[in-house]
Amino acid sequence: MPGYNYQNHSLVAVDCIVFGFDGQNLKILLIKRKLAPGQGMWSLMGGFVQNEESADEAANRILTGLTGLEGVYLEQLHTFSKPDRDPIERIFSIAYFALIDIHQYEKQINDQYSAEWFLLSEMPALIFDHTEMVSMARKKLRYKAAMHPILFELLPSKFTVPLLQSLFEDVFETTFDKGNFSRKIASTGMLLRQKEKDKLGSKKGAYYYQLDKKHYKKNFHKIQRLVPNPNGLI
């Protein structure tokens, strides 16, 4: 096969930062590494990009292998490229972040990877530059969530406004007035109120809502203003 001669070839991998929300706190999914280097340490889930697949396809393949879930929200984050980031040989790593409904995952858990959910505040040390990847992913999550309705990917298809608020509060590390939050989110026109209520969380019960992304474009600026001065965006 002809090629570009005299140029160095390298390994290219993907690593996935997987976020979930348990109703109280944002969590991250880590695996315990089985092979050297870094055997026994915690790490992000990753793998090499194969010949016939794109990086997106590789990330999806790896994520499905880990969680059993297909079609989850996955977005390319950043490519990490320091020459010595892996001690064995040079590896470029294309990092992706994923948002999954943690309850869907729990049913289908595939434990061959010794995977575990961690609170972000209790995350252990990770191999290589994975800690830096996670911190960039957290920042990007806030960045994106301040502008687009992506946090809904972390919730079940029917959810209550108070649950949504506690997710926003956890992501942005702040609190909102509940009355104002509920009106603001309603004014985006994205939420369709269901007939049923969730009675587990409170006596009065909170209405379930479903997301209707169709007309969020019209009221895009209202999403922008849900979080006035989003923590960690600067």
Partner DNA sequence: ATAATAATTGTCAATTAAACAATTATTTTT
Partner DNA sequence: AAAAATAATTGTTTAATTGACAATTATTAT
# residues contacting DNA (CB under 7 A):
23
Closest by Cα among 131, 126, 135, 133 to 40: 126
CA distance 170 to 19: 12
Q: Which listed residue (34, 82, 103, 199) binds DNA by CB under 7 A?
A: 199
Q: Which of DNA, a copy of itself, none lies near 56, with the C-beta cut-off 5 to 8 A by kind? A: a copy of itself
Q: Which of a copy of itself, DNA, none lies near 158, with the C-beta cut-off 5 to 8 A by kind? A: none
Q: Fill in the amino acid letter for 36.
A: A
With CB under 8 A as the contact rule, which of the stretches 18-26, 66-74, 142-150, 195-203 interacts with a copy of itself? Answer: 142-150
Nearer to DNA, 135 or 166 (CB): 166
Q: Rule CB under 8 A: say whether 229 interacts with a copy of itself.
A: yes
- Residues comprising the chain, all counted: 234
Measured in whole angstroms, the distance separating CA 192 from the mean position of its chain's CA atoms is 24
Q: Which listed residue (41, 55, 127, 150) binds a copy of itself by CB under 8 A?
A: 55
x/- mask, a copy of itself, residues 7-26, rule CB under 8 A, reads xxxxxx--------------
DSSP conformation letters of 169-182: HHHHT----HHHHH
Q: Which residues lie closer than 8 Å to 125 by C-beta, 6 or more apart?
A: 41, 42, 131
Q: Rule CB under 8 A: say whether 50 interacts with a copy of itself.
A: yes
